[in-house]
Structure 1
Amino acid sequence: MSDASADAWAVYLLECADGRVYTGIARDPEQRYAKHLAGKGARFTRSNPPRHLLGWVWVVDRSAALRLEIAWKRLPRDERIAALHESLKP
């Protein structure tokens, strides 16, 4: 978590084996991805195993992360991925 402040949370995207995209929040997205892979993540990823971590974007706090997660979950798959890529641009 070297590129985020101590209070920061990440909104992350996972591509699952069936092609669907899972959106979640975490303080450490790589560690959370490992939990998903181990079958200890969300119910959705236990029944739809993740294929890979698409990426994440840091936000200032948990509240902001939850708001962004909800907004992204309302988007279709391709728009959700595009939103992540757009957020990662400098």
Structure 2
Amino acid sequence: MNTWFVYLIRTANGSLYTGITRDIQRRFAEHSTGGPKAAKALRGKGPLTLEYQAQTQNKSTALKLEIAIKKWPKQKKEALIAGTQALPQLPS
């Protein structure tokens, strides 16, 4: 099974980080502990909270969604978390 997820993590100061993974729990734990596999953008910015996750069809779709979401203003990301904004429709 080739399941991938796109996710958003909130830092202690309210910033949002977007990423992709195959294993949400493992990746969030890596970010939270600040170890060598944690994103540099999140190190020392805890406590972290996993705010959003969505399963995708494959890695390619996850990457495209990650790129699209990273370009969004924070207000639109907050709407995605709140459930009032849908993920973008990607061309087939």
Query: TM-score band, normalised by the shorter chain?
Result: 0.7 to 0.9
Structure 1 spans left out of the alignment, 5+ residues: 1-5
2:49 alignment partner AA: H
Q: How far, CA to CA, are the matches of 1:82 and 1:37 in structure 2?
A: 24
Q: How far, CA to CA, are the matches of 1:28 and 1:8 in structure 2?
A: 9
The residue aligned with 1:26 is: 21
Q: How far, CA to CA, are the matches of 1:28 and 1:81 in structure 2?
A: 23
Is residue 52 of structure 1 aligned with residue 49 of structure 2? yes
Seen in structure 2, the aligned counterparts of structure 1 residues 50 and 64 have a Cα distance that, compared at 3 Å, is: farther
1:29 alignment partner AA: I
Following superposition of structure 1 onto structure 2, how do residues 1-90 of structure 1 map, counting pairs within 5 Å? Answer: 6-40=1-35, 41-84=38-81, 85=83, 86-87=85-86
Q: Over alpha carbons, which structure has the higher Rg? A: 2
Larger fraction in helix: 1
Please, which moves more after superposition, 78-87 or 60-69?
Answer: 78-87
1:43 alignment partner AA: K
- TM value normalised by structure 1: 0.82
The count of residues paired between Structure 1 and Structure 2 equals 83
- TM value normalised by structure 2: 0.80
Q: CA RMSD in A?
A: 1.7
Structure 2 spans left out of the alignment, 5+ residues: 88-92
